[in-house]
Each structure stands twice: as C-alpha cells, then as structure tokens.
Amino acid sequence: MVCRIAIVLFLSAGLASSSHFTVALSTWTSCGTGLDCANLTVPLKYADPSPHETATITLARFNATASTRKGSILVNPGGPGASGVALVSAGAGQSISTITGGEYDIIGFDPRGVGGAEPKFACFANTGDEYDFNSAFPAGANLWIGAFANATEEKAVSSSIKDFDTAAAKLAAACLKQNSKALFTLSASYVVRDMASIVDFLDGPGAKLNYWGFSYANAQTYVSQLPNDQISVRNAIKDFAQLCCEAGPSACSFGGTSKSAADIEARFDALHKTAFSKLVVASGVPISSSIMSSFLWTFFTVPPTWPLVSALIAGLEAGDASALLNVLVTSAGSAPANRSPPAVGLRSLSSMGLTCVDNAPTNLVPLTFCRNFGAQRPKLHNLGVSKITDTDCILAEHNNPILIVNGIHDTNTPLKSAQRLRAILPCSSRIAARGGPGHTTISLPSLGLAKTVANYFRTGALPPDGAFYPSDLVVFPKNTTLSVAPSTPTFNGTSYSNSDRVILNAVYGIVLAFLAIA
C-alpha cells in the first residue's frame, strides 16, 4: 500500500507537542553510505502524555539525491515486527529513492515494539530465558494445506492445533507476566501518531505523510480469511509447478522427470502430506510438516528464492536433507554468550503480541496466542472499520487518495483482502494488481507497477482502477548458482530501455534487502 495523506487528518502539531510533552529528535549521525540515523522521542501514552514516560522511535534516512527535495517517504516492511531501519539500511533506501526519482528522503522507521524502538515488547526478563523459549517454541502447528479439506484428517488437525495452542498460551502468559511498558502502547493508533510526529518534525506541520508500506493486515476475520488463504497458497503452488515445468530440470531441480505441472504439483503435495502424517526421514533426520512449512512458506513468499526451494525439496524427496539442514542451521540464531542482559524482543515471539494488540488476528499462529492474551487493550483505541466511511470522505474531500497494490496470488495477504479494503474506501482509493505469486508486489518485480508507484509519488497520478501489470522476472533462470536468491536478476523483456533496467534492478534491490533482514 502506498499513500499520501495530509498530516492534519491524523494529528496536528499542537497535539504532537502539548504543554506536557515536546517531541524531540536526536542529532542525525552517519550510519552508512548516504544514510543518517537518529531517534525520535515521543510520548509513551498519547492519551496521557507525560515527560517521564517516553517511547523512542528509531529512524534511518537515505537522503534525497535530486536538486529539488519534495519531502519524506516513510517506509516499513510490515510483518508486523519487521524493522524499517534495517530495511532501508540493507539497501532498500537507495532502491526506493531510485524508483521515486531521488526527490524524497527515504525514512525507514521501527514502529513501537519493533527493532531498535523503545520500550521493547519483551516477554522474558533476560536474553537467556528468551532464547531458551524461542528455541523450544514450535514454528507452527503441524499442518498440511490438504488436511483442511480431508474429513479423515480432522482428528489429526485438531490435535496439531491444540498442541500449538498450548505452546502459544505459555508465551501469552509470559508476555502478560512480564508486563513491559510496551505491552499496550504499540497499537496502530499509537504508531500512526508516531508517523505523524516524524513528518511534523522533518517536513513541518501540515506536510503530507507519504508512506510506502509493503505488507499489511488482512481486512477479513480469520473465519472469512482462511478459505482465501488456502486458495492463494494453492494458486502459488500451481505457479511454482508451472514455472518449474516450463524451466525444465536444469533450472528447476525438483522438476526431475515430470512432464507436466500437474505431476510436479502432485509430488509436492505427496511430500508435504507424508511429513504431516508420518514425518519425512531424510539423512536420518525426521522432518515434520511444521518444519517443512516453516522454511517453505518463508521462502515461498519470495519467488526469486524458488531455485533454492526446488533444490531443497528435491533433496528431501530423494532422502537427502543436508541442504535443508544447512539452511536451517545458517538461519538459526546462536545462543547468547551472556544470558543476563534484558531480552531483545525477538520478532518470532513479539509479532504475535503486536498482531492482537490491534485487532482480531487473521491467521492461525497469532490466533492461538491472542485467544490466551486477555481482554485488556490500549487506552488509546483504534477507530476501527466503523469509522472508515468518515475517513474515506475526508481523504476524498482533500484529494488524498490511497493506492492499494497487491499480487494476484499472494500467499500471505490475498488479493481478495486488498479488494475488500478498496471496497470500504470507495471514494479515496484505487487498486492495482501485479501478476503472479509472491508476498508483497515487489517480491516479483514488475516494471509497469514500479512506474505506476513512481508516478504516484512524483506527480500524484493514479492508474485506472483495477489496473493489471505482469511481472518481469524470470523465476528459474538458466545456469544460476544456487543461493538464497540470485544476486543478478534475469528479466523476461527484450526491449527494455536503460532507465527501465535501472527501475527493475532497483525493485530487485528491495527484494534483496527484504531477504537480508529476514
């Protein structure tokens, strides 16, 4: 989602700096090539500001490069729980600047409870206890997508969900017991005021809040969302199988001797079903469906990683888990040398709390946590869907439209959810879709969509509602060296101009930044 909103719609300067509290920014200091970093001090509780209770929002700025600076664009990867500071610092700042013509400072920020922001949303007293719990915490319920549609698997599905619910209940109890200051002061209503404070401070009261967000919360309840999720995941599996079949076994190793996409899809399902019912034993190691799903859906959301994914699952099918185990070991955090420092608020644990402080969760993992999290909510409430109509009218009246962008086969935030958001903002939004799979539109670069986003920020131009843009990335390039993702992308067009390639490479740079912080 990208948006340009007059700051006065959310928070006037008078509210940001009251007689009880003054927002303050530390000195910008260099923290990388073209990068500056700083901390913004804001009230911990906007509903009851006190100079003795503060929150610190960490910022990273990639400076505008054009001769004329138009303002700032705030960026955050979403999650919830991912760091905007880390994203900008990993190269996304420069890439977003390139896409938008260098006319804006690109501001990555860590929302409350995330990254370097203070106070931490920590559920344990020290890093040692946090590490021990995180190491033992299951990656998810031991489920397989086909199990939901199979009546004979109902008992096993219920048992798997119950086991995960028990583990999530222990985490929820630990978070409530720790009772950190961040616990109920990190909802969207607080974060949006923090964003307003950032822009007020950097660009002046009344400046527009320009925001490019990548991942978002679904606009459906869990009960409504589950069927959409299953359809989107199935479509992504079909995309994987089709692209793998077209590329051939030399580029997609899981293709093997399969002559059709349907056969590749059936083999993929059979492997996952085996892990659900009796574990896949490879290299003498039992691999459960939850372990398989954890790595599959982490990488499956980013199609440039699919050559690696195909090699990993090909190894599992052949009884060799060495490549998979190497990925898991490499990505696992190491035990802290000193167990006594305060807990850092690991994203794998805190993201569940961040989700249910705001509203009803829309997928299984936070759902089990929130069910045990208690009924207490922030003193400063979110306005909720009931106020969206008012918001829609105000945005339309002030000509501040929101551009909603979504992939058609996004496994995390399905297109139907974006269409639902478009429906509840009928006067003030437009929607555009990118072809193919992948979570967030940039995970599969599209030149047409990138230019649309660039035009939106640079001139305010909007695409036709419902505009569709094909992807431009070759997912399974020939003769690629297996890594998390190729460092040099291959695009499928034959007549790109130099400026087109600059934009496409910049979009791919954001992909690499996402992978770097994952």
Check whether residue 39 and residue 130 sit in a common domain: no
pTM: 0.91
**Distance linking the first and last C-alpha atoms of the chain:** 20
Same domain, 93 and 210: yes
Query: CA-CA distance, 507 to 334, in Å (whole number)?
Result: 32
Residues 6+ apart with CB under 8 A from 428: 391, 392, 393, 395, 396, 400, 401, 402
The span from the CA of 134 to the CA of 319, in Å, is 28
The span from the CA of 182 to the CA of 492, in Å, is 47
DSSP state of 476: S
Residue 400, domain member (yes or no): no
Classify residue 26 by its DSSP letter.
P
* Environment class of 198 (CB within 10 Å of its CB; exposed 0-12, middle 13-18, buried 19+): buried
Distance CA 434, CA 410 (A): 10
Same domain, 145 and 194: no
Same domain, 274 and 200: no
**271 beta partners:** none
Note whether 193 and 211 are same-domain residues. Answer: yes
- Taking the mean position of all CA atoms in its chain, how far away is CA 15? 30
Cα–Cα distance measured from residue 184 to residue 188, given in angstroms and rounded to the nearest whole number: 11
Q: Among residues 362, 26, 76, which one has the least CA distance to residue 209?
A: 76
331, 364, 382: which is the final residue of a domain?
331
State the residue for tokens 């691999």.
287
262 Cβ contact list (under 8 Å, min separation 6): 241
The strand pair at 29-32 and 54-62 is best described as unpaired
The range of the structural domain enclosing residue 171 comes to 122-179+353-372
Tell me the one-letter amino acid at 371: R
CB 357 within 8 A of CB 154: no
Which of the 8 DSSP states describes residue 385?
Answer: G
Cβ neighbours for 370, distance < 8 A, ≥ 6 positions apart: 172, 352, 355, 356, 360, 361
Q: In sequence order, which residues have a C-beta less than 8 Å from that of residue 130 and are 6 or more positions away?
A: 122, 123, 124, 343, 344, 346, 349
The neighbouring-strand residues paired with 24 are 41
- 210/83 same-domain check: yes
As given in the structure block, the two tokens for residue 377 are 């909510």
Query: 92 and 173: one domain?
Result: no
> Does the residue 151 lie in any domain?
yes
What's the CA gap between 5 and 210, in Å, rounded?
Answer: 6
Are the beta carbons of 34 and 246 closer than 8 angstroms?
Answer: no
Boundary (domain end) residue, out of 163, 195, 216: 216
Same domain, 87 and 207: yes
Task: Please indicate, yes or no, if residue 365 is contained in any of the structural domains.
Answer: yes
Q: What is the pLDDT along the chain (518 residues), one digit of tens a residue?
A: 676 654 333 333 334 444 457 889 999 999 999 999 999 999 998 878 888 899 999 999 999 999 999 999 999 998 778 899 999 999 999 999 999 999 999 999 999 989 999 998 889 999 999 999 998 888 777 776 666 667 677 787 788 888 888 998 999 899 889 888 888 788 888 898 999 999 999 999 889 999 999 987 665 555 555 555 667 788 889 999 999 999 999 999 999 889 999 999 999 988 888 887 787 888 888 888 777 877 777 788 899 999 999 998 999 899 888 888 887 777 777 888 999 998 888 888 888 878 777 655 556 666 778 888 876 666 666 666 667 888 899 889 988 899 999 999 998 888 988 998 899 899 999 999 999 999 999 999 999 999 999 999 999 999 999 999 999 999 999 877 677 788 899 999 989 999 999 999 999 999 999 999 87
Residue 47 is assigned to a structural domain of this protein: yes
Would residue 336 count as lying in a domain? no
What's the rounded Cα separation, in Å, for the pair 504 and 446?
Answer: 7
- Same domain? For 244 and 149 the reply is no
157 and 66 housed in the same domain:
no
Whether 264 is covered by a domain: the verdict is yes
The pair of three-digit structure tokens given for residue 13, joined into one six-digit string: 């300067």
Q: At which of 372, 402, 422 does a domain end?
A: 372
Q: In this structure, are 193 and 292 located in the same domain?
A: no
> CA triplet 342, 344, 349: central angle to 5 degrees?
125
Residues whose CB is less than 8 angstroms from the CB of residue 175 and which lie 6 or more positions away in sequence, other chains included: 121, 123, 183, 353, 373
Q: Do 5 and 72 lie in a common domain?
A: yes
Domain count, the chain: 3
Residue 434, domain member (yes or no):
no
